[in-house]
Structure 1
Amino acid sequence: MRLTLSVLAYHLSEKYDNFFEIYQANGKNSLDRICYFEVDCSENKFLYFILYEDLKKCKVLPQTIICIGDDEEAQSFIIEKGIEALIFPNCVNQNLLYQAVSDIFFEYNTYEQDIKDAIIRNDSLSATLNIVSRIFDNPVFICDAALRLLGASENSVNVSDSLWLDTLNQGVSSQIVMDVMQNTDLIDLLNTTNRAIYIEQEPVAPFFSANFIENNKRIATITISSSEKKLNPKLLPVVDRIVELLIIEVKKAGNAYYLQATNLQKVILDMLDGFMLDERVLRRNLLAVHWNMNDEYQLIKVEMSEDHVLNGTAKYVELTAHKLFPDSILVDLQDAFLLVVHRTGNRNIDYIISNAFYEFLKMQKSKAGISMRYYSFPLSADAYKLASIALEKGKALSHKEALYHYEDYIVTHLIDMCALSINVVSLCNPEATKLYQYDVIHNTEYLKSLYMYILEEKHIAIAAKKLNIHRNTLVYRLGKVSELCTIDLDDSKSRLHVIWSYQVLQYLKPEF
């Protein structure tokens, strides 16, 4: 394993008390091994062992050295020449020091080979992390971009921090963890780095963290706790190397979770793009997740808050929502996502939507549109349109709410569609239109009272309660309606026409 001078300094400090460290590039030069310096022969990847007296004679200076000679002249010379160095006093036994450094390289090379062997054997990610945990004498775990646990070392059960324990026990970071990380700006810190970092910020216990990056996106994060042994930032380059070694395994572990749904996700995206699908292929993909073509479905479109999109927590929001509907397919749409929910055999879906999902949306400051239920999977493309319309209409008409059902916006949607070809007000019941005009001029609610009376099947007590007025007040208003206009309330067509007219006039609020 290639090591930096800072890593070597950390381990040597366990044996040697008095040496001087000089870093010209923050100790980031990666070194393959230590060797004795030969005159005018310098390789950047080697750590050279040299006496200061010999160093002064070199025409070609090495870049990184362990130097024997502790006087001020040696330090000044090395700094002036831009050399990275660990400078030890003359009294140090050269052979023992050289052997100590060689042993450190050997130890890390052994760790790296063990990790590579585990990968070749196709060991689980958790088994491989057991090797990593030995390097730091601390628990190690990896979460994907959605903060779902991909793997953890066996000693992770010893983590003392309740926040991390929550992640390990549940298999995904809880909202408590997310709130703490956001309130302490840890989310921004974790998402803006492509190198390992040391985080020491209450209330989270100190830990190392490094991101696995693919196509400039974070796909996973490794966390090394300090629950068993204090961590030293000098070891951060080792974490970076471990990320390099494990990235393929991490991608495999992450892909395995989504593999089952991947084909169906592609099918859904193709449907949204208007592609015609082979029915046999569609049936086969549905059967892979134990669904059938004519089962009961419902589609939910979730629009995340801008904060989640910008700070990299969008995947976490998606996963958390998906957990509420285990029998569903999640489709990522960048700033939004879809959940195609399989309702057949799941009787509590409506309860989940109205309670847990609604609370989830409010907590995440997100909004969702929900289609009507449908009984043919190919209708998913149309269901997506309905969910999108519900989301659009809901935000415009009820922006303080978080959850919008298409059923609540059918009429306004139909009005908009009709308005493309005709003045919709001309379709309203003339008597209802006259009543609306009277209400506008006189600041009354006669049309609304008539609408509620018809809607409640001419039950005065119930209608009055819905209007939050006394039943006698409603009786008076209905009497005034009879004086102002002529509507046959015994005719079902007239009643339906009044209901439609009220909804049109309330939505459009025309001026006469």
Structure 2
Amino acid sequence: MAVQFSELTADMQIKIASFTNKLLELCQKGTTIQQLLDVGYETLGNPLLLVDISLCFMAHAGGNTIKNEPLWEWTLSKGYVTEQYVNSIMENNVDEDNGQTEDSNLILWEYGLLNHRQLVGNVLKNRQSIAYLKILEYNKPITEYDEHILITLCKFLSLTIKNSNENFSSINPLVDSFITALINQKLYDHDAINERARAFNLKLYDNLYVITIELNNTNKNQDRIYYLKRKMQNYFNRDTIIIYDKYIVVLFDVKSENIFNANELSLFNKLLEKYNCRAGISKTFHNLYDLSEYYKQTITSLSIGKQLHSSQRILNYDDYIVTHMILSFGDKAHLNLLIHPIVKFLIRIDKEKNSDFFETLCAYLKHNQDVTLTSKALHIHYNTLKYRINRITELTNIDFDDSELLFEIQLSEKVLKLIKQIGNEKM
């Protein structure tokens, strides 16, 4: 519920001007966030709590006097707000285009899970939220004068908070900036990379992966992104998680050669489903210098999954290497060039004679030329399969001992499936 403002009295205007001058004097001397909150608490008489946009604790004034407000006590002791509170905030978005004045849109009342009302101020920098300042109606009622003081304090906090949101939502901002520099290849010297990893105490297991989590459109507002980043930090138990180009990127290290076991994979899939996200996973690598290339693999996986209209939440680059090769060729030449003449011939015969030679050949190769397994897979009699294979041999002179030829035929099958899926090529 947005706050409504009436005309300020002359006395209120004088008091607000005096408060503003006091903050200006502090800023001229080089103030801190804590000093600003202390002055705010002294003026307002109610506890103040500053959190970043991922709703993690930054500073407070008067919060240690609270005895019967569990949400505040939790935040001050744990360093972050409860998930129940976060969910209530995410579900109750405020309509900012409501015809109110500019200042009235900077603050709103919160009730719900709290034992006391609290007024929340939005700390903005470059029109982006960077923090929230909360005043709890604990010692005395919050007046309209208090509302204006809160807005003024938010504006000064914006000037004092020098760094961007990433620094406040990160456990280790040095590691954040280091990983970002690796992704965008600002750091490219092997020795420098290894030295910084040691300096930042970044101790990793030998097997590294990049996991890039793509958010859907409803998750792409800034508050939601930082909240989901925090969720991923808790899930993976890693500090090596950053926000990069509207993705959540995880540098994940493991002892074993496999990134997840079956149970872990299932749990991760459920987490992605809960927040309606998708994740691309790179191949394994062992040197931080290579992080940028493996990040690109995850983006490729997400892109191919979208092109193929895949419903999978987890898109592993290992599963898309051949598809990536085919699509890369398709950027330079017609995919039809990858289809072997034998395949084209069998498809034409199948259309003319209403036969199933091409499907039979694909199944036969898939099952390593095992007649029993292939006949079961196609649900046809053993002798029927043998007749078809003999007929294919007569029509095409195919050599089933030529491994390179067989690879080209299997590649042709993949190309045809891909053409059908993406629908932008014609036979």
Tell whether the structures are fold-level matches, with TM greater than 0.5.
yes
**Farther-moved stretch of structure 1 (314-323 vs 173-182):** 173-182
Which of residues 217, 229, 252 in structure 2 aligns to 1:342?
252
Aligned match of 1:213? 124
Summarize the Cα distance change of 1:238–1:422 in structure 2 as closer, same or farther, 3 Å threshold: closer
Q: Deviations over 1:318-344 (max 9, x none)?
A: 33334333435344334x225241324
**Farther-moved stretch of structure 1 (132-141 vs 413-422):** 132-141
Summarize the Cα distance change of 1:227–1:492 in structure 2 as closer, same or farther, 3 Å threshold: farther
Aligned match of 1:182? 90
AA in 1 matched with 2:128: K
Q: Give the secondary structure class of the aligned counterpart of 2:118.
A: strand
Which of residues 410, 421, 432 in structure 1 aligns to 2:343?
432
The answer on whether the counterparts of 1:446 and 1:478 sit within 8 Å (CA) in structure 2 is no
Q: CA deviation at 1:159?
A: 1.9
Q: Deviations over 1:159-218 (max 9, x none)?
A: 245xx77766764456644443233224869xx976652415546663210122223221
Q: CA deviation at 1:312?
A: 4.1
Aligned pair 1:297/2:280, yes or no? no
Q: Distance in 2 between matches of 1:442 and 1:493?
A: 29
Aligned pair 1:506/2:417, yes or no? yes
Q: Give the secondary structure class of the aligned counterpart of 1:473.
A: coil
Q: CA deviation at 1:144?
A: 0.9
| Higher-RCO chain (CA-CA 8 Å, sequence separation at least 6) | 2
Aligned pair 1:482/2:389, yes or no? yes
Summarize the Cα distance change of 1:257–1:146 in structure 2 as closer, same or farther, 3 Å threshold: same
Summarize the Cα distance change of 1:319–1:476 in structure 2 as closer, same or farther, 3 Å threshold: farther
Aligned pair 1:368/2:286, yes or no? no
Q: Distance in 1 between matches of 2:75 and 2:388?
A: 63
The answer on whether the counterparts of 1:210 and 1:221 sit within 8 Å (CA) in structure 2 is yes
Q: Distance in 2 between matches of 1:338 and 1:297?
A: 16
AA in 1 matched with 2:14: L
AA in 2 matched with 1:268: L
Q: CA deviation at 1:507?
A: 1.2
Q: CA deviation at 1:501?
A: 2.0
Q: CA deviation at 1:375?
A: 2.2
The answer on whether the counterparts of 1:140 and 1:225 sit within 8 Å (CA) in structure 2 is yes
Aligned pair 1:287/2:192, yes or no? no
The answer on whether the counterparts of 1:144 and 1:219 sit within 8 Å (CA) in structure 2 is yes
Aligned pair 1:307/2:218, yes or no? yes
Q: CA deviation at 1:290?
A: 4.0
AA in 1 matched with 2:168: G
Aligned residues: percent identity? 18
The answer on whether the counterparts of 2:121 and 2:132 sit within 8 Å (CA) in structure 1 is yes
Aligned match of 1:254? 168
Summarize the Cα distance change of 1:347–1:421 in structure 2 as closer, same or farther, 3 Å threshold: closer
Q: Distance in 1 between matches of 2:137 and 2:387?
A: 78
The answer on whether the counterparts of 2:209 and 2:259 sit within 8 Å (CA) in structure 1 is no
Q: Distance in 2 between matches of 1:24 and 1:237?
A: 11
Q: CA deviation at 1:219?
A: 1.0
Q: Distance in 1 between matches of 2:202 and 2:30?
A: 36
Summarize the Cα distance change of 1:417–1:23 in structure 2 as closer, same or farther, 3 Å threshold: closer
Aligned pair 1:159/2:69, yes or no? yes
The answer on whether the counterparts of 2:107 and 2:122 sit within 8 Å (CA) in structure 1 is no
Return 5+ residue gaps in structure 2 as ranges: none
Summarize the Cα distance change of 1:452–1:315 in structure 2 as closer, same or farther, 3 Å threshold: farther
Which of residues 176, 179, 187 in structure 2 aligns to 1:265?
179
Aligned match of 1:17? none
Q: CA deviation at 1:395?
A: 0.7
Q: Distance in 1 between matches of 2:158 and 2:255?
A: 39
Aligned match of 1:197? 107
Which of residues 49, 52, 55 in structure 2 aligns to 1:141?
49
Q: CA deviation at 1:485?
A: 1.4
Q: Distance in 1 between matches of 2:328 and 2:286?
A: 24
The answer on whether the counterparts of 1:431 and 1:485 sit within 8 Å (CA) in structure 2 is no
The answer on whether the counterparts of 2:108 and 2:121 sit within 8 Å (CA) in structure 1 is no
Q: CA deviation at 1:397?
A: 0.4
Q: Distance in 2 between matches of 1:225 and 1:260?
A: 33
Aligned match of 1:61? none
Return 5+ residue gaps in structure 1 as ranges: 1-21, 34-44, 47-104
Q: Distance in 1 between matches of 2:274 and 2:58?
A: 25
Which of residues 22, 28, 31 in structure 1 aligns to 2:14?
31
Summarize the Cα distance change of 1:319–1:446 in structure 2 as closer, same or farther, 3 Å threshold: farther
Q: Distance in 2 between matches of 1:138 and 1:354?
A: 47
AA in 1 matched with 2:211: I
Q: CA deviation at 1:283?
A: 1.3
Q: Deviations over 1:77-124 (max 9, x none)?
A: xxxxxxxxxxxxxxxxxxxxxxxxxxxx9xx99xx89xx7xx9998x9
Q: Deviations over 1:463-497 (max 9, x none)?
A: 78xxxx76743747744641441244455434433
Q: Deviations over 1:22-81 (max 9, x none)?
A: 963477954259xxxxxxxxxxx58xxxxxxxxxxxxxxxxxxxxxxxxxxxxxxxxxxx
Q: CA deviation at 1:147?
A: 2.3
The answer on whether the counterparts of 1:322 and 1:328 sit within 8 Å (CA) in structure 2 is yes
The answer on whether the counterparts of 2:103 and 2:151 sit within 8 Å (CA) in structure 1 is no
Aligned match of 2:321? 410
Q: Distance in 2 between matches of 1:324 and 1:187?
A: 31
User: Cα RMSD between the aligned structures?
Assistant: 4.7
The answer on whether the counterparts of 2:107 and 2:151 sit within 8 Å (CA) in structure 1 is no
Aligned match of 1:397? 308
Q: Distance in 1 between matches of 2:135 and 2:283?
A: 46
Q: Deviations over 1:114-145 (max 9, x none)?
A: xx7xx9998x95x9968866766765432212
Q: Distance in 1 between matches of 2:389 and 2:78?
A: 64
Aligned pair 1:277/2:185, yes or no? no
Q: Deviations over 1:206-240 (max 9, x none)?
A: 32101222232211112234467654454212323
Summarize the Cα distance change of 1:447–1:259 in structure 2 as closer, same or farther, 3 Å threshold: same
- TM-score, normalised on structure 1? 0.62
AA in 1 matched with 2:52: D
AA in 1 matched with 2:126: N
